[in-house]
């Protein structure tokens, strides 16, 4: 009888220990690097191509997520499109930006390089591509409450698991023809929470999605700021020229300045005539 008791206690301890072992911390990472995508076989730093980048507003822009290893678990194509739509909305309000195309992930070839970028740009008829690279790291740990998982019911009601998801998004805007990085803007987020053992998977998946959303929230104002800085930089940067698009429409318009000047001139002469007459 004594041996049976000892066996049962040992079995329970082993099961408890097994739970603790099963629930011990682990790390998962999903990333898509713009460098890996554009320079897949680079053994040395890419050479900068000298030359003048010509931008012809209204510029046609494409937006895409960089394809990468480990992608697919966190965000569905639909969610990715929703995120890209939000980035698109932040670009769309500028007059010098024409059409904005969202490029689905299926068109982006992993480690495709500039050749793939050229193909995609031709396919979607865009001149500038915004590549969203990402890096999301998820840490899963257990807390002291996980001790109660051995009750079986505890695995469903006790939040003994912790997750910590850190996300970094980076929008790099490239001129496809000159292959020049025009500007970039980052967005980061951190989402942490607790979950039951049974609900960890679903909850952490939602948190991953939330992490991307929050990173985009931070990315958009940064992107606006960088866009404004880029416009300022254009005034002094001789390597980037703004040219008119082939076949553009021009208008000779008298603005308020000319109208005011004309009014002033007419008023002066009218006054003089009145005094003379």
Residues whose CB is less than 8 angstroms from the CB of residue 27 and which lie 6 or more positions away in sequence, other chains included: 137, 138, 139, 140
- CA distance linking residue 196 with residue 19, whole number of Å: 13
108 or 182: CB nearest another protein? 182
The two structure tokens encoding residue 42: 């680079």
Number of residues that bind another protein (CB under 8 A): 35
Smallest separation (angstroms) from another protein to the CB of 36: 38
Which range binds another protein by CB under 8 A, 67-75, 131-139, 163-171, 257-265? Answer: 257-265
Contacts (CB under 8 A) with another protein, residues 55-84: 58
Task: Annotate each residue in 218-247 with x if it binds another protein (CB under 8 A) or - if it does not, as one string.
Answer: -----------------x------xxxxxx
27 or 272: CB nearest another protein? 272
Instruction: Describe the crossing of helices 200-234 and 77-92 by its angle, rounded to 10 degrees.
Output: 30
21 or 256: CB nearest another protein? 256
The two structure tokens encoding residue 205: 């998946």
Q: Are 227 and 219 in contact (CB under 8 A)?
A: no
50 or 95: CB nearest another protein? 95
Contacts (CB under 8 A) with another protein, residues 107-126: none
Q: Are 99 and 60 in contact (CB under 8 A)?
A: yes
**Does residue number 255 form part of the binding site for another protein (CB under 8 A)?**
yes
- CA distance linking residue 225 with residue 219, whole number of Å: 10
Other residues' Cβ atoms within 10 Å of the Cβ of residue 195: 19
Q: Which residues bind another protein (CB under 8 A)?
A: 58, 95, 235, 242-259, 261-266, 268-270, 272-274, 276-277
């Amino acid at each position: 009888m004594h041996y049976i008791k000892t066996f049962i206690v040992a079995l329970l301890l082993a099961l408890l220990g097994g739970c603790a072992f099963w629930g011990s911390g682990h790390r998962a990472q999903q990333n898509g690097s713009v460098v890996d995508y554009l320079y897949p076989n680079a053994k040395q730093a890419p050479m900068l191509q000298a030359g003048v980048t010509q931008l012809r507003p209204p510029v046609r822009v494409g937006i895409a997520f960089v394809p990468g290893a480990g992608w697919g678990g966190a965000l569905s194509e639909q969610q990715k499109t929703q995120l890209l739509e939000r980035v698109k909305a932040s670009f769309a309000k500028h007059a010098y930006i024409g059409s904005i195309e969202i490029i689905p992930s299926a068109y982006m070839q992993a480690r495709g390089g500039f050749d793939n970028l050229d193909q995609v740009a031709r396919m979607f008829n865009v001149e500038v591509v915004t590549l969203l690279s990402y890096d999301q790291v998820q840490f899963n740990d257990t807390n002291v409450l996980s001790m109660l998982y051995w009750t079986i019911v505890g695995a469903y009601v006790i939040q003994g698991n912790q997750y910590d998801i850190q996300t970094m998004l980076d929008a790099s805007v490239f001129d496809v023809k000159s292959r020049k990085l025009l500007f970039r803007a980052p967005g980061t987020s951190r989402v942490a929470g607790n979950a039951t053992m049974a609900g960890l998977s679903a909850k952490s998946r939602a948190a991953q999605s939330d992490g991307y959303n929050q990173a985009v929230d931070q990315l958009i104002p940064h992107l606006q700021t960088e866009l404004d800085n880029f416009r300022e930089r254009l005034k002094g940067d001789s390597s980037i020229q703004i040219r008119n698009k082939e076949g553009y429409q021009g208008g000779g318009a008298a603005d308020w300045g000319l109208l005011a000047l004309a009014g002033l001139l007419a008023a002066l002469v009218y006054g003089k005539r009145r005094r003379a007459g």
